[in-house]
Amino acid sequence: QKEVEQNSGPLSVPEGAIASLNCTYSDRVSQSFFWYRQYSGKSPELIMSIYSNGDKEDGRFTAQLNKASQYVSLLIRDSQPSDSATYLCAVDSGYSTLTFGKGTMLLVSP
């Protein structure tokens, strides 16, 4: 069974700080990695994708991938209370399917 592990949190950060969310995965052949944001009672929303080692930046979000360590992270700069949500890491697991971690809850306090 392919596994994706995340710390469940909650991760609490003050407004304006950097939030760092981490994810490890078990399948060495995985090639595609995604971060989703899920507000309470809503469905997941794709915020970042990354396919090669290194960093990928999009606005206040930076995804980092290290395939040798089987590690993906998401940095949120200048965190806002509106960033408070559960963040799901997803990894491709063959046949166009994704395996999701259980998510990390992020709380940004004003």
Site for another protein in 46-65 (CB under 8 A): 46, 49
According to DSSP, residue 83 is labeled: G
| Nearer of residues 10 and 16 to another protein, judged by Cβ | 10
Closest CA to 10 of 75, 89, 101, 87: 87
Q: If binding is defined by CB under 8 A, does position 21 make contact with another protein?
A: no
Site for another protein in 82-101 (CB under 8 A): 88, 90, 92, 95-101
Q: If binding is defined by CB under 8 A, does position 107 make contact with another protein?
A: no
Q: If binding is defined by CB under 8 A, does position 19 make contact with another protein?
A: no
| Pair of tokens at residue 44 | 């997941």
85/55 Cα distance (integer angstroms): 23
Specify whether the CB–CB gap between 104 and 83 falls below 8 A: no
Instruction: State the residues that interact with another protein by CB under 8 A.
Output: 1, 31-32, 34, 36, 42-46, 49, 88, 90, 92, 95-103
